[in-house]
Amino acid sequence: MAYETLILEHHETVMLIRLNRPESLNAINNKMLTELCTVLKKSSNDSNVRVVIITGSEKFFAAGADIKEMEKKNSNEMYLEDYFTEEHNIISSFRKPLIAGVSGYALGGGCELAMMCDIIFASDTAKFGQPEINLGVMAGIGGTQRLPKTVGKSKAMDMHLTGRYMDAQEAERAGLVSRVFSEKDFPVKIIEIAKKISEKSMSSIIAIKESINFSYEANLAAGINFERRKFHSLFSTEDQKEGMSAFVEKRTPKFTDR
């Protein structure tokens, strides 16, 4: 199926989704988010897809939500449409590993989209920002909630209140980004990492994702209890037997998701 705003690439069991509205620096409009959610829903049920990467082009991941689409809307229209809420929920609850590969601008909704993913890898040209304040509004799909949990209150306030950008190095130091690669290695390096993740047991992957995401909701005792239950439950899988016997037998494990 061809998409108007996305280009899909398959790299074995890694699906790479390239945001593709170059005329507006990949501004995220309704069409793009709908298409993105369609691809994610299909990928959820497709055992040939084990890891998904969302990326843009060399110069822009996404320069935010589409300002031209929002410009004329009033608050009641935004409220009734529940602008981007359903899409936010679909993306942020995707169960398989979801990686953002950010090169160039990730601004406003672009930065928020990257933060909905499990890992953000950046190229050395990446620029992150929440400049909505310059438009007389504010972040609306998680930016005021996820950024402080990632980089702390002071830096999050700084980003949201001044609208300034963070470069890749600062984003890595602040913990927003996991690793920075040179532009020439992008996205080859992240595809390699995604392939390594795709070889792990899906039961472990999902249990780890659920446990880490629960740490954002729970107090420490509840989180540790949740983790312990997940850990114990993995001992019912064949992959646990395979992983541990492979270690003892000094060979590479072959996981089957059973």
Residues in touch with ligand HXC (CB under 6 A): 24-25, 27, 63-68, 83-84, 105, 107-109, 131-132, 135, 139-141
Query: Toward ligand HXC, which CB reaches closer, 48 or 136?
Result: 136
Beta pairing partners, 225: none
Contact call for residues 93 and 129 (beta carbons, < 8 A): no
Query: Toward ligand HXC, which CB reaches closer, 83 or 128?
Result: 83
Query: Toward ligand HXC, which CB reaches closer, 67 or 234?
Result: 67
Query: Toward ligand HXC, which CB reaches closer, 66 or 239?
Result: 66
Angle between helical axes of 143-151 and 153-162 (0-180°, round to 10): 140
Q: How many CB atoms are located within 10 Å of the residue 25 CB?
A: 19
Q: How far is CA 179 from CA 6, 164, 250, in A?
A: 25, 21, 30
Query: Toward ligand HXC, which CB reaches closer, 49 or 139?
Result: 139
Q: Rounded to the nearest whole angstrom, what is the least distance from the CB of residue 52 to ligand HXC in the complex?
A: 21
Q: Is position 174 annotated as part of the catalytic site?
A: no
Q: ∠ at Cα 85 (208, 224), nearest 5°?
A: 25
Catalytic site residue from 27, 65, 126, 168: 65
The residue behind tokens 């980003």 is: 159
Q: Give kind and range of the element (H or E) at residue 39.
A: helix 30-44
Q: Rounded to the nearest whole angstrom, what is the least distance from the CB of residue 103 to ligand HXC in the complex?
A: 13
Q: Rounded to the nearest whole angstrom, what is the least distance from the CB of residue 145 to ligand HXC in the complex?
A: 12
Q: ∠ at Cα 97 (235, 229), nearest 5°?
A: 30
Query: For residues 183 and 185, what is the distance between their CA atoms, to the nearest angstrom?
Result: 5
Q: Is position 109 annotated as part of the catalytic site?
A: yes
Catalytic site residue from 132, 140, 143, 194: 132
Q: Which two tokens stand for residue 63?
A: 């320069």
Q: Rounded to the nearest whole angstrom, what is the least distance from the CB of residue 216 to ligand HXC in the complex?
A: 20
Q: Rounded to the nearest whole angstrom, what is the least distance from the CB of residue 113 to ligand HXC in the complex?
A: 9
The residue behind tokens 């998701």 is: 257
Catalytic residues: 65, 109, 112, 132
